[in-house]
Amino acid sequence: MLNKKKSKGLYIVIFGCGRLGSGIANWLSLKGNSVVVVDRREEAFSSLSFEFTGFTIIGDATELDTLETAKVEKADVVLALTPDDNTNIMTALIAKEYFKVSRVIARVYDPNNIDMFSEFGVEIICPTLLAVKEIQNSLGFAGGDEA
């Protein structure tokens, strides 16, 4: 059938190509999604696998020109995964409020910043809280106030 459309993956923009960003980018690319990775440092892209089929952009995640170059306005999902909470909140808010991206996920190191991110409908991943929960589970205190 000639008119049958091939189902395509999502268009995902990832800010930050460290261990987390590159790992997610490699996985999303392998799953058939269109992935753009943005990082300030060109050498960060060396973490991407040979199988990575997406695009890379050297740029500052907080600059509008960089977000426009990454075509954030077309993104199904934006992931703000830099190692800096301030950069992640700015990038996430610009994607959510200015570019109207429906799904924005940000990494937040400082649990005190979670409410600020959540107010704007940004989904949060907090490695600090995840680690605390894992350690509690490992120690057997996950059920509450046991002594």
Domain ranges across the chain: 11-139
**pLDDT truncated to tens, each residue of the chain (147 aa)?**
444 444 579 999 999 999 999 999 999 999 999 999 999 999 999 999 999 999 999 999 999 999 999 999 999 999 999 999 999 999 999 999 999 999 999 999 999 988 887 788 899 999 999 999 999 999 986 555 554
**Residue 118 has what pLDDT?**
79
**Residue 114 has what pLDDT?**
87
**Residue 7 has what pLDDT?**
53
Q: H helices of 12-126, where? A: 19-30, 64-69, 85-93, 114-118
If residue 124 lies in a helix (H) or strand (E), which one and from where to where?
strand 123-125
Compute the distance between CA of residue 122 and CA of residue 101 in angstroms, rounded to an integer: 10
Domain 11-139 falls under CATH 3.40.1350.10:
no
- Whether the Cβ atoms of residue 29 and residue 12 lie closer than 8 Å to each other: no
